[in-house]
Structure 1
């Protein structure tokens, strides 16, 4: 949905006005949409494995967190999600949803009582039933979500026991977390300004032998504000120093388990190579004009890296030419958000497409190959949207804290917003797929329209 620019002197629409306009367009813009109202805020949502295929829909695991007010424990939720296949949902069904209701497509399957709030969830690509979580402590917790017992979240109940605890941070590590695409490696960043790397390869047997006795996590560091979890621990393979402030996000290079990148509150983007030691391979000073919140590495073209920042922009870097005069030199700056960017992620399906979500409640879908390729008719008019932007998901009414493309169904996205500040409620989970006329090649769409017209003429 291309957002019209406000005329000079006009006030931008309020959140409620924008939402009302978006809701009226849902049957036109979406192939499928499921809205799931959450009782508690959630800071992370991730797709798990697909486990059942049927004629009209597939069933798939979905991981999300619940951050409670203390009246009940914090939890890691494993849900079963029915994903309606493309071109199956009726427009009437798409348009009829209740913002206050829980979706029939999302059903809680299992609850894990998490020691502290779940700030970030990441699944292991080689085995997506293994997930890592970050909480307000120095440790990273590893869970086998299928073998973990289902727990009832009541006040005073003991925490679930992690299958592994990864130690090595000297202060809280709350958000920066990544899993390696090719090896069972885990990467983390934290308030100690460090990037920490682990391998769980030698400890797979520990996952199957969790009854060998409990050991307290060292949980070292003055910032350990939550009680440490209990379970077998794994020491770091490497600790990498180079940031001057909190590390906010990390990401592996898709083609190498030894190469990775990180961003932080020091406005720096750093590339690392574990084979070359614990110092930065490349340090990009002033990658943005403010704190960096998120980073992603293109799985189809390893030269491209995305960063998102508190300066409201997304920047795309080419690692072959990262700096100019010691300052970050992005290929392009994407300006389509009105508040801090919280999450960026490349599409698993097409190398030029990515999404970005922000505190403005918008999730934008971009195609960097569209930049500079305006049609002749459109070029004569004032541009209606930033270059490269081709869809705006405006279904959330507060900051969109996380989203995840579905690898099993690449144009289906799950997104979650923290609605506590605007509505006093919990959060909103949405699973959605834009109508394919928006992203399919134009000549393909025109051919299909011609066939449709021919069919109408024949019928008439």
Structure 2
């Protein structure tokens, strides 16, 4: 029995856009013309020799060998760079494009797949299929409807209320409230809470929820969305139209600010094809709500101050962070330090930045050579594109990151949990003092021996 398309492993990350049908037809016509006018040449049966096979393998090997060499070098530095690190290889790639946790109840998660709906799951209510023989298949507790086309990556949960935000290929941003499901069932005595204690989801045959609002303003696929940390009514979105849009649900479904990118300039009116690359990700600083970061297919991360995004003026990014060699897929502010954020990309690196270090000089008054402005740590433990990562809010400076290894290993991925050496992020004076103590300890031990 052949597997259905939905059960096949999929490559995570943004797929490259298909050629227009007209271009495909032109290419096919050109190919047919070339074949018709080409001079026929006699053909002779050929066989692939062992030497040719060996040459093909040698030609394909350098890239894989280069990745392995970099990974081996990184492994040799793990005891120095990290306080601790855990690695888990995933044999089968995840069929979920995005998974987000509800802050008000950690047992409730939302998932994006290759479909228009957002699925809500109460983890405690799902059958334990690994431990119980013959357990029923998992079934989502709620299905959020409203998108007209697939919604795969843009997904966010509100930190202050049980609200869900999504974006998709239909160019729209959709807002739901899980409370809408509870309120419609409150008068039905046949419904009852299920799953984890304090669950806000009740059992019912009708598990669909319609949207509270559908926000139109993008001109291409919406790639990421994010709530304002202190407001359930304010949120932002980015998309393949190279626009950052700020929304306020209290004033309707039209954009409050629509920001298109032209090099370093930012405008509050739409500019078609203003940027050569798509915007893939966005995050709102939980410590300073004026700061928003975006990641793009142009390999860079930009930081913006929303106070400069006025209706009649132009603003500039506070800074542009450049170090990645491929498209940036995920950005997130640190929950522990207001000036620190991370970015992961298709180049396999997860960079940790501190915007307060931008332009900082060393003791001699010169900038450090061959260093990217603001970059102070680079996690190189993945062999392929890092599609997602998160800071651990309960354990300072701890990060979980996941890569999609389809291109390098043919399937699966890698999940890593790690914390960098505290000497890297502690104040320089404290780090030097501890190193001096360690140096004295080593000298004492050497003298006694």
Q: Provide TM-score, normalisation by structure 2.
A: 0.74
Partner of 2:222: 247
Flag the structure with higher strand content: 1
Partner of 2:46: none
Q: Structure 1 residue 447: deviation in Å?
A: 2.2
Is residue 318 from structure 1 mapped to residue 296 from structure 2 by the alignment?
no
Where do 5+ consecutive residues of structure 1 fail to align? 1-10, 42-65, 68-117, 216-231
Where do 5+ consecutive residues of structure 2 fail to align? 1-62, 195-200, 267-274
Could you give the per-residue CA deviations for residues 110-149 of structure 1, whole angstroms, max 9, x where no partner exists? xxxxxxxx11000011111110011111111111112211
Is residue 214 from structure 1 mapped to residue 214 from structure 2 by the alignment?
no
- Counterparts of 2:328 and 2:314 in 1: how far apart (Å)? 21
Cα distance change on mapping 1:22 and 1:455 into 2, 3 Å: closer
Q: Which of 1 and 2 has higher RCO (CA within 8 Å, sep 6+)?
A: 1
Contact 2:192-2:203 at 8 Å conserved across structures = no
Q: Structure 1 residue 152: deviation in Å?
A: 4.7
Report matched runs for 1:147-158 at 5 Å. 147-152=125-130
Cα distance change on mapping 1:380 and 1:145 into 2, 3 Å: closer
Report matched runs for 1:314-393 at 5 Å. 314-322=301-309, 329-377=316-364, 379=366, 383-393=369-379
Is residue 168 from structure 1 mapped to residue 146 from structure 2 by the alignment?
yes
Aligned pair partner of 2:237 in 232, 238, 262: 262
Is residue 125 from structure 1 mapped to residue 109 from structure 2 by the alignment?
no
Aligned pair partner of 2:209 in 214, 234, 238: 234
Partner of 1:44: none
- Counterparts of 1:207 and 1:276 in 2: how far apart (Å)? 36
Aligned pair partner of 1:25 in 52, 72, 77: 77
- Counterparts of 1:443 and 1:347 in 2: how far apart (Å)? 22
Cα distance change on mapping 1:324 and 1:458 into 2, 3 Å: farther
Is residue 199 from structure 1 mapped to residue 177 from structure 2 by the alignment?
yes
Q: Structure 1 residue 284: deviation in Å?
A: 0.3
Partner of 1:183: 161
Cα distance change on mapping 1:213 and 1:320 into 2, 3 Å: closer
Cα distance change on mapping 1:208 and 1:332 into 2, 3 Å: same
Aligned pair partner of 1:143 in 121, 126, 147: 121
The farther-off stretch of 195-204 and 233-242 is 195-204
Contact 2:347-2:384 at 8 Å conserved across structures = yes
Aligned pair partner of 1:307 in 286, 291, 294: 294
Contact 1:164-1:207 at 8 Å conserved across structures = no
Cα distance change on mapping 1:297 and 1:387 into 2, 3 Å: same
Question: Which structure has the bigger radius of gyration?
Answer: 2
Aligned residues: 357
Is residue 431 from structure 1 mapped to residue 417 from structure 2 by the alignment?
yes
Cα distance change on mapping 1:378 and 1:143 into 2, 3 Å: farther
Q: Provide TM-score, normalisation by structure 1.
A: 0.73
Q: Structure 1 residue 378: deviation in Å?
A: 7.0
Could you give the per-residue CA deviations for residues 306-364 of structure 1, whole angstroms, max 9, x where no partner exists? 10011100110100113799776211111010000000000010000010000000000
- Counterparts of 2:278 and 2:367 in 1: how far apart (Å)? 37
